[in-house]
Structure 1
Amino acid sequence: MAGLEANSRKVAASMVVDLTLPPLGIPPPSGRGGCQSASVRYQPGVVDMGMGSATLVIVNEVRGGTTMSSTAEENKRVVRRIRDEVEEQGNLDAIDEIFTEDVVTHTPMGEFRGPEAIKEMYESDREGFSDSTETIHDVIAEDDTVSMRLTERGTHDGEFMGIEPTGKEFEIQTMAFFRLEDGKVAEWWMQPDTLGFMQQLGVNPEDLSEAVSAGDD
């Protein structure tokens, strides 16, 4: 506890207990025993190191001077920018801020590298589905990885990967996983319901495969 005082670390806790401990920072007087009653109580964001009392604090694991919880929250914030700024606002310039220069993107249609490839992907999506939206349901972060569950919706009102517009709407569930390095996304795995997507648009999977192959040539 004295170390917490020395570091002036302000963190949050979630419990209140009473215990007996020596006065903090003061050695017990000779012959008088080593402990006295102390009330230990949670106060949000405050470490009270007063004599005879202390605030018991549950500290998250610390790496590089930053708590793991704060790093996880920052990683989630970075990942949410993809939906908020790129998908919803159409700000493709934000991709350079969100992703590393050598980012690797894994999709059911193949793997590609770099921010420019991600920009091309969003441009293609915008041409094929001008009203596309994403609804985020869950975002979970641990260490350098963030997972996300979302719903994608849109209308196929433009050419998409060689498929002429069908005018049909789609709504699919998607899972995505992101690995971050130094506050940027370095790797991205997309797990959309590709079969459900094609069925709702009335697209033959073979036609889509042929379009992907033609695009790679």
Structure 2
Amino acid sequence: METMTENNKEVVRRFNREVIAEGNPESFNELMDQHFINRSAPAGMNNGPQGMNYFFNQILRPAMPDIKVTIHHQVAEDDLVTTRKTISGTHTGSLLGIAPSNQAISIDVIDMVRVKDGKYFEHWGITSLPEVLANLQK
């Protein structure tokens, strides 16, 4: 018998695989609650579903078309799933104003997702993206 925490972990694995890595819009719509809030959205960025979709499909995917997500570890308790992962790819497109370098880049991420009724409801996260961007500008 599957537990709620195991089901929630699978929701997060699916999101990482189907939405982030594969860019599947149907999966995004299926896995994203319409009242989703990204508690880690940068100031001035939409913190709802549209902002999350914009980040992955208008910022990250064009910069790294060969994007890959590697999940290293997941911990779940009640309706929260914490994931340590790496988002990697080749920097072949502009990334937040930084010209393509053709370098392999890796963004380390630790995020926590509240899953409600099988969908992303809230997100908190920390990433190494600022360090990656600083290194690309050198």
* TM-score category of the 2 structures, normalised to the smaller one: 0.7 to 0.9
- For residues 105-162 of structure 1, the C-alpha deviation after alignment (integer angstroms, 9 at most, x for no partner) is 1336335333222221111211111112111011111011000001221222112222
> Does the 8 Å contact 2:74/2:81 carry over to 1?
yes
Q: Does 1:114 align with 2:48?
A: yes
Residue type of the alignment partner of 1:106: R
> Does the 8 Å contact 1:129/1:156 carry over to 2?
yes
Q: Does 1:152 align with 2:84?
A: no
Question: Match of 1:87?
Answer: 20
Query: Percent identity at matched positions?
Result: 30
For residue 101 of structure 1, the aligned residue among 27, 34, 43 is 34
Question: Match of 2:62?
Answer: 127
> Does the 8 Å contact 1:106/1:112 carry over to 2?
no
Rg: which structure is higher? 1
Question: Match of 2:109?
Answer: 174
CA gap 1:100/1:108 in 2 versus in 1, 3 angstroms: closer
> Does the 8 Å contact 1:128/1:159 carry over to 2?
yes
- For residues 48-78 of structure 1, the C-alpha deviation after alignment (integer angstroms, 9 at most, x for no partner) is xxxxxxxxxxxxxxxxxxxxx7100111111
> Does the 8 Å contact 2:113/2:121 carry over to 1?
yes
Could you tell me how far apart the structure 2 residues matched to 1:83 and 1:173 are? 13
Tell me the TM-score normalised to structure 2 length. 0.86
CA RMSD of aligned residues (A): 2.0
Could you tell me how far apart the structure 2 residues matched to 1:101 and 1:188 are? 13
User: Residue 168 of structure 1: CA displacement?
Assistant: 2.3
- For residues 65-93 of structure 1, the C-alpha deviation after alignment (integer angstroms, 9 at most, x for no partner) is xxxx7100111111111111112222022
CA gap 1:168/1:202 in 2 versus in 1, 3 angstroms: farther
Question: Match of 1:165?
Answer: 100
Could you tell me how far apart the structure 1 residues matched to 2:83 and 2:13 are? 9
Could you tell me how far apart the structure 2 residues matched to 1:105 and 1:92 are? 18
> Does the 8 Å contact 2:17/2:69 carry over to 1?
no
Task: Give the unaligned 5+ runs of structure 1.
Answer: 1-10, 12-68, 204-217
> Does the 8 Å contact 2:98/2:136 carry over to 1?
no
Question: Match of 1:44?
Answer: none
Tell me the TM-score normalised to structure 1 length. 0.57
Secondary structure of the 2:25 match is coil
Q: Does 1:194 align with 2:112?
A: no
> Does the 8 Å contact 1:102/1:113 carry over to 2?
no
Q: Which has the higher contact order (CA 8 A, sep 6+)?
A: 2
